[in-house]
Structure 1
Amino acid sequence: MLRTRFTETFGVEHPIVQGGMQWVGRAELAAAVSEAGGLGLITALTQPTPADLVREIEKARTLTDKPFGVNLTILPTINPPPYDEYRRAIVDAGIRIVETAGSNPEPHMGLFKEHGVKVIHKCTSVRHALKAQRIGVDAVSIDGFECAGHPGEDDVPGLVLIPAAADALSIPFIASGGFGDARGLVAALALGADGINMGSRFMCTVESPIAPAVKQAIVDADERDTELIFRPLRNTARVAKNSVSTEVVRILAAGGEFADVRELVAGARGRLVYENGDVEAGIWSVGLVQGIIHDIPTAGDLVRRIVDEAASIIRGRLTGLLAPVEVS
């Protein structure tokens, strides 16, 4: 067992978190990760209404009695979802761990803290992590440039971002972006993190609610098979490379505006990818870590494998590198 500040703060056995992913973070996956000793997260906005979210939480509780949480991603949109209602549903359902992402979580902190909810905030820079620490979050998830979804605009990879965060923060933090096996967990701990957050790796598990064809596409792809879209709009997102993402990049590089790609990047099309397995149907998120994803295990087997192999690396290879001390 690997004990860190993160496992102690959040009451989990292993320092492994399943990221909150739109259309992916459902009860079966979150419960499977938590049952294996990690921290599973249900994605709030995957559920059409706050009432549906409560039902999803109740479903997860039938599958595990171990701690799991809810991801609430707050993004500026023309027609925002009822964030206050989702927040209230989370609290009323008795959830005590929340991952926030997107915009500043400060407006949500009062209610969460009032009800004893521990908050993890996802950040893509040290300066944002420090702000999250100042407003009282319990931990941060620091996302390197390798991650799926929105890596920010600084383009700093985890090898630099993680130790920079370790130097600056006093609260626990987990490393995100590019993690998929025991080697990554050991590296993150060595760089100063208290655990890892994995999204793409958990997409390729038996309990992941996406079409088998999408899981196999990730297994078959390598680390070069992603695309960075929206770069000219300063809203960069890493997605799978396909005909749609390549066309989005071409249009924007030629001076196009968001309106010119709106239909191509519609969320409904991306959801159909996950549901129907047509990987060319729309934009869908995956990280560089797909280059080291080679199988589709159960979520529990994946968690246990990573923890066991990490312990072996620490006890074996790393300890073996230490030259014996000669006593004169």
Structure 2
Amino acid sequence: MVRTRFTDLLGIEHPVVQGGMMWVGRAELAAAVSEAGGLGIITALTQPTPADLVKEVERARTMTDKPIGVNLTILPSINPPPYDEYRRAIVDAGITIVETAGSNPEPHMEMFKAHGIRVVHKCTSVRHAVKAEAVGVDAVSIDGFECAGHPGEDDIPGLVLIPAAADALSIPFIASGGFADGRGLAAALALGADGVNMGTRFMCSVESPISQQVKERIVEATEHDTELIFRTLSNTARVASNSVSREVVEILNAGGDFPAVRELVAGARGRHVFEHGDIEAGIWTVGLVQGLIHDIPTAGDIVRRTVDQAEAVLRERLALFEPVAV
């Protein structure tokens, strides 16, 4: 067991988190991670209604009685989801841990705090992490440039971002982006983090609810097989490299605007990839860390071997500092 401020804060055994992922963070996966001693997270907006979210949490609780979190990603939208209703559903479901992401979580803090909910805010820069601490979040997940999805616009990788966050924050924080095994956990701990968040690694697990073809593609792919789309729109996203994402990059680099790629990046197309396994059907998110993923184990095995390997690596490295007998 690796005990940190983060595990103590949330009452979990291991500092390994399965972050919220659209279309991926469902009951089976979250429950498997939590049952193994990590923190599994159900993605609120994957559920079509707040009532469905409550049912999904109830379904997860038939598989584990250990802590489970819910991700609530808050983004500006022409037709925004009913965030207040999802927030109420989180409370009604008895959830005690929420991962917020996207916009400033401050408007949601009063209600979460009033119901004893711990808030972990995911952000991509030290300045946003400091702001999150100031508005009262309990912990931060700091997301490096290596990550899947939205890495922000600063392009700061974890090797610099993690110790910079450690210098600036007083609350616990975990590192996200580029983590797949115990070597990464050991490195994150050495750099000052209190644990790791792994997305792509848990996508490629037995319990992950996405198509087997997508999982097999992650195993086959290397760290070179991603694209950064929306760079010219200052809304960078890291996605799998396929014919669709490459076309999006080409159109935008040639001066195209968002309407020129709207149909290519439609969320329904990405969901089709995950559900039906046609990896060329649309845009789907994956991180650089796919280059370190070579199998499709159970989520529980991922948690256990990550912690075991981290301990072994740290013990081996520490042995280098032992005095040599003369």
* TM norm structure 1: 0.98
Matched, 1:320 2:302: no
How far off is 1:301 after superposition? Answer: 0.8
Shift of 1:323: 3.9
Counting only pairs closer than 5 Å after superposition, residues 1-328 of structure 1 correspond to structure 2 as: 1-315=1-315, 317-324=316-323
Aligned equivalents of 2:9, 2:322: Cα separation in 1:
35
The Cα of 1:310 is off from its aligned counterpart by 1.1
Residue type matched to 1:150 in 2? H
Structure 1 residue 314 displacement after superposition: 1.5
Letter aligned with residue 290 of structure 1: Q
1:319 alignment partner AA: L
Kindly provide the amino acid, as one letter, of the partner of residue 291 in structure 2.
G
- What one-letter code is carried by the residue in structure 2 that aligns with 1:38? G
Distance across 1 between alignment mates of 2:311 and 2:75: 38
Q: What is the alpha-carbon distance in structure 2 between the residues aligned to residue 233 and residue 152 of structure 1?
A: 12
| Inter-partner Cα distance in structure 2 for 1:181 and 1:61 | 27
Equivalent residue letter for 1:74: I
Q: Which amino acid aligns with 2:53?
A: L
Q: Which AA in structure 1 matches 2:317?
A: L
Number of matched residues? Answer: 326
Gapped regions of structure 2 (runs ≥ 5): none
Identity %: 79
Secondary structure at 1:255 match in 2? coil
Cα distance in 2 for partners of 1:323, 1:74 equals: 49
Find the aligned partners of 1:11 and 1:325 in 2 and give their Cα distance: 40
Tell me, what secondary structure is at the counterpart of 2:291?
A: helix
CA-CA distance at 1:168 after TM superposition:
0.4
Residue type matched to 2:170 in 1?
S
CA distance in 2, matches of 1:120, 1:20: 11
Q: Secondary structure at the match of 2:119?
A: strand
> Could you tell me how far apart the structure 2 residues matched to 1:54 and 1:146 are?
33
Give RMSD over aligned pairs: 0.8
Unaligned runs of 5+ in 1: none
1:265 partner SS: coil
1:86 maps to amino acid: Y
Please state how far the C-alpha of 1:326 moved relative to its aligned partner: 6.1
**What SS is found at the alignment partner of 1:321?**
helix
**How many angstroms does 1:311 deviate by?**
1.1
Show CA shifts across 1:64-102 (max 9, x none).
000010000001011001000000000011000000000
* Corresponding letter in the other structure for 1:45: L
Secondary structure of the corresponding residue to residue 25 of structure 1: coil
Give the CA deviation at 1:312.
Answer: 1.1
The SS at the match of 1:70 is: strand
Equivalent-residue separation in structure 2 for 1:90 and 1:311 (angstroms): 35
